[in-house]
């Protein structure tokens, strides 16, 4: 627990409010409660700031009038948040064996596993050799966890889940903030990964933990090998994703979608239910209607791609125009 005076000193912030006010943890502006600290990057979230229950927020001076709680005023909100996030990160030491506080019921635990503090493992679940399960993780009943799987702190895994060898659940997300000298500062990801029932996760697939809220894999999802699911992604029920697909942060994928191999999905997108995306496609905008989608182009300089993209969009209009001209000439 840290008070606002300590935090203000760390990030060189102007403090408006109570310096002795204690902060227990960080949370998103929508989810934050009375003892939690949040942040707002720009005016887009001014309404959320006004409605937030956060005990304190990190904001730019331009949002001061929209803040009704304790405020830490800084010039670079994202950088300040990155620095503060590490205060609340919990580090886990790995020791082979089963911690005395773990509840493993009659689970089958192979040799070389590390089961940390406050872990719960359900009935008839098996863990392959050298698997790591960190603090405060829960695994449901009738799960099959392969060898060399890493399940990091706070992860929640449902019933009848299959995780193939080498998968990593709850790894640190790829979030970084740049300072004035263009140096990178990592963001500690404090959310968790929640996996529903009847989910299959392929070999060497990685699912990152959320930044503040959780990454969520819903019931019945099928993930192939070598997939990367970034922080705060939500994959809804019964969606299947083929190998080597990458999904950037904070993207929502709907129910019953089918996504081919080597698809790249840009962050902060929404993909509706019942969408099929063909292999090697790049998804760079929201998909709001069910159906089959393909988007494949060879690599080229970006400026050239911008020109090509404009012409591709206009091809149908050009074709119609040429047909009209051709018919007109034939008529003459």
In the block, residue with structure tokens 């609340």: 88
Tell me if residue 90 is catalytic: no
Helix (H, G, I), strand (E, B) or coil at 16: strand
- Say how many residues make up the chain: 332
Sign of torsion over alpha carbons 99, 187, 30, 283? negative
β-pairing, 291-293 vs 252-253, is: unpaired
Q: Name the CA dihedral angle for 249, 254, 259, 264, rounded to a multiple of 10 degrees.
A: -20
C-beta neighbour count of 7 within 10 angstroms:
22
In the block, residue with structure tokens 């009738």: 142
Q: Which of 189, 218, 228, 231 is the catalytic position? A: 231
DSSP 93-149: ---SEE-TT-B-TT-EE-TT-EE-TT-EE-TT-EE-TT-EE-TT-EE-SS-EE-TT-
What residues act catalytically?
Answer: 231
């Amino acid at each position: 627990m840290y008070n606002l005076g300590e935090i203000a000193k760390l990030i060189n912030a102007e403090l408006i409010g109570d310096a002795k006010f204690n902060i227990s943890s960080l949370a998103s502006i929508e989810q934050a409660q009375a003892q939690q600290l949040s942040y707002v990057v720009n005016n887009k979230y001014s309404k959320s700031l006004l409605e937030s229950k956060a005990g304190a927020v990190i904001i730019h001076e331009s949002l001061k009038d929209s803040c009704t709680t304790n405020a830490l005023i800084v010039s670079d909100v994202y950088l300040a948040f990155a620095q503060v996030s590490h205060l609340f990160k919990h580090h886990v030491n790995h020791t082979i064996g089963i911690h005395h506080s773990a509840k493993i019921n009659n689970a089958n635990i192979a040799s070389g596993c590390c089961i940390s503090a406050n872990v719960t493992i359900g009935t008839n679940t098996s863990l392959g050799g050298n698997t790591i399960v960190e603090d405060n993780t829960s695994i449901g009943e009738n799960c099959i966890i392969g060898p060399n799987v890493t399940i990091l702190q706070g992860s929640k895994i449902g019933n009848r889940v299959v995780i193939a060898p080498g998968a990593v659940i709850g790894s640190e997300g790829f979030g970084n903030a740049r300072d004035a000298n263009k140096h990178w500062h990592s963001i500690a990801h404090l959310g968790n990964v929640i996996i529903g029932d009847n989910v299959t996760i392929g070999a060497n697939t990685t699912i990152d933990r959320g930044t503040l809220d959780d990454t969520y894999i819903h019931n019945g999802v099928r993930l192939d090998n070598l997939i990367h699911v970034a922080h705060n992604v939500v994959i809804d029920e019964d969606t299947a994703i083929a190998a080597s697909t990458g999904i950037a942060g904070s993207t929502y994928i709907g129910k019953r979608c089918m996504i081919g191999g080597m698809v790249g999905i840009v962050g902060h997108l929404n993909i509706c239910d019942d969408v099929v995306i063909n292999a090697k496609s790049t998804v760079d905008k929201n998909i709001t209607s069910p159906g089959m989608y393909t988007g494949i182009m060879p690599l080229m300089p970006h400026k050239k791609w911008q020109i090509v993209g404009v012409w591709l969009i206009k091809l149908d209009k050009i074709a119609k125009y040429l047909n009209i001209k051709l018919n007109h000439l034939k008529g003459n």
